């Protein structure tokens, strides 16, 4: 199921970036960082939001993982 959902989101993003005029921003990527109040573990997430051709807001959480203090390591892990 996860593979099917990832493929669907990927296809939506490709369609969004290919159909938008170059003068408009096709999507908004947002990073968030928080600490679990009980275990004191840091987390970071990346989300994307955009309005599709039918003017419907789409918003997806792309990843959430423990944050070890290195944004460079976090970004490199997510690219692989």
Helix (H) or strand (E) holding 77: helix 71-79
Per-residue pLDDT at 78 exceeds 60: no
pLDDT tens digit string along 29-57?
998 988 888 888 888 889 999 988 888 99
How much is the pTM? 0.70
Which pLDDT value is given to residue 59? 94
Ranges of H-type helices in 1-64: 2-19
Biggest alpha carbon–alpha carbon distance for the chain: 46
Please classify residue 33 by burial: count the beta carbons closer than 10 Å to its beta carbon, then call 0-12 exposed, 13-18 middle and 19+ buried. exposed
Q: How confident is the model at residue 19 (pLDDT cuts 50, 70, 90)?
A: confident
Locate 77 and state its tokens: 């892990």
CA gap 17, 6 in Å, rounded: 16
Q: Encode pLDDT of 1-18 as tens digits.
A: 888 988 998 898 888 888
pLDDT at position 75, please?
65
């Amino acid at each position: 199921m996860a593979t099917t959902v990832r493929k669907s989101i990927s296809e939506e993003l490709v369609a969004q970036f290919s159909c938008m005029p170059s003068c408009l921003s096709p999507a908004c990527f947002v990073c968030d960082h928080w600490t679990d109040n009980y275990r004191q573990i840091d987390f970071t997430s990346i989300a994307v939001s955009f309005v599709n051709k039918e003017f419907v807001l789409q918003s997806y959480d792309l990843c959430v993982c423990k944050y070890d203090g290195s944004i460079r390591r976090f970004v490199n892990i997510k690219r692989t």
